[in-house]
């Protein structure tokens, strides 16, 4: 294990192995094992992870192939592998709290994991491609039924991934709305979290029942937020202060709290473009759209068929809006004109205006088995 430097083999088994390695490193204070985990994390997330947090590019071995080999239509990206990535990230955060792990855990949750479940919770994806020419639907069950119960286990234990507590300390790794009880000596503090990272970007931590003594609140400031502000009961705090926003990427406030006081993190959820590493052959000249932690995709239900004929100009504005409870991103794009003589032509391909609608990747295939595409041609 200590000599492994690349993420290889079956993606789910690899995540379970790396999770065990992290547990052992923590329990036995094993620096060499921890160094191996850190190296494997760096290799996986910079060379073999999809933009959705999915991992495992091949159905042949249900796992990894080679660096920068991340095809879209044939992506395996098993739901259980994304769950395993969250498990590993959770364990790394216990040892080495840094937003690099929280960012990936959040990415995997909202994209690689939730895409595996239909909106009504009755059907599932085993594998999660990033492009489809149509005909793909979730299944009610599988002969090898690891993904449905694994999803159920994760979702019912999500609080242990989102939050961590110590004596007089609450750490918010993934902002989720709910109430957290924090041990403070022999007493308990109660903190209510109200999070909207998909829409307004507001994350509020309200101390409902303040402890008798100091309480530390730590909340991850995600790398995807271009501009972030922090307020304590309406008073702005300076995130440029190294004591407030630590090198680990967590905003930290320690004080004696009063009942009802509130710490508010305001994140930037403006839609943004994600451009691929030039070594990703399948994505050359393409762009992905994200808002907050959620990667978005074009779907036939909104944009018509032949999605590969659509393009997004580099200077096109991206707008966010709510559509029947779903946050979508829209832009003025172009659709290639099929008019012309013959299969090949010497003249330029013409195009016409088209409104592009990008929906959260996790919600695709809930309106029929139409086409889908995460990466869109830019230009």
88 and 45 in contact (C-beta within 8 Å)?
no
Number of separate helices (H) and strands (E) present in the chain: 7, 20
DSSP 110: I
Distance, CA of 313 to CA of 11 (rounded, Å): 36
The contacts of residue 278 (CB under 8 Å, 6+ apart) are 284
Catalytic residue check, 123: no
Q: Which of 27, 31, 42, 62 is catalytic?
A: 62
- The 8 Å CB, 24+ separation contacts for 119-128 are 119/363, 119/366, 124/79, 124/148, 124/151, 125/79, 125/365, 126/78, 126/79, 127/59, 127/75, 127/76, 127/77, 127/78, 127/79, 128/52, 128/54, 128/75, 128/77, 128/78, 128/79, 128/82
Distance, CA of 184 to CA of 256 (rounded, Å): 12
Catalytic residue check, 146: yes
Q: Which of 146, 261, 262, 378 is catalytic?
A: 146
118 and 356 in contact (C-beta within 8 Å)?
no
Write out the catalytic residue numbers: 62, 146
């Amino acid at each position: 294990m200590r000599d492994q430097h690349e993420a290889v083999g079956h993606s789910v088994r690899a995540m379970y192995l790396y999770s065990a390695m992290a547990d052992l490193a923590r329990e036995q204070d094993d620096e060499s094992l921890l160094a191996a985990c850190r190296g494997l994390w760096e290799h996986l997330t910079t060379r073999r992870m999809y933009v959705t947090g999915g991992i495992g590019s091949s159905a042949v071995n249900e796992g990894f192939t080679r660096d920068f080999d991340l095809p879209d239509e044939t992506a395996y990206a098993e739901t259980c592998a994304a769950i395993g990535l969250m498990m590993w990230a959770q364990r790394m955060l216990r040892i080495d709290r840094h937003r690099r792990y929280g960012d990936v855990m959040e990415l995997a949750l909202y994209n690689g994991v939730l895409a595996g479940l239909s909106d009504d919770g009755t059907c599932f994806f085993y594998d999660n491609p990033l492009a489809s020419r149509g005909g793909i639907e979730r299944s009610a069950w599988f002969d090898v039924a690891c993904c449905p119960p694994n999803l159920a286990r994760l979702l019912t234990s999500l609080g242990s991934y989102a939050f961590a507590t110590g004596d007089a300390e609450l750490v918010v790794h993934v902002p989720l709305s709910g109430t957290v009880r924090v041990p403070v000596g022999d007493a308990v503090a109660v903190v209510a979290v109200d999070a909207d990272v998909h829409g307004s970007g507001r994350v509020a931590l309200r101390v409902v029942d303040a402890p008798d003594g100091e309480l530390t609140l730590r909340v991850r400031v995600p790398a995807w937020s271009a501009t972030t502000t922090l307020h304590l009961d309406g008073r702005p705090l300076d995130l440029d202060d190294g004591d407030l926003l630590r090198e680990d990427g967590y905003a930290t406030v320690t004080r004696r709290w009063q009942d009802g006081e509130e710490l508010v993190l305001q994140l930037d959820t403006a839609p943004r473009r994600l451009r691929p590493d030039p070594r990703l052959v399948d994505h050359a000249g393409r762009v992905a759209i994200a808002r907050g932690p959620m990667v978005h995709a074009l779907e036939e239900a909104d944009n018509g068929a032949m999605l590969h004929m659509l393009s997004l100009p580099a200077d096109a504005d991206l707008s966010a809006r709510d559509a029947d409870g779903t946050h979508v991103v829209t832009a003025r794009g172009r659709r290639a004109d099929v008019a012309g003589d013959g299969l090949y032509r010497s003249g330029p391909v013409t195009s016409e205006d088209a409104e592009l609608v990008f929906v959260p990747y996790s919600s695709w295939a809930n309106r029929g088995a139409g086409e889908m595409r995460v990466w869109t041609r830019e230009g």
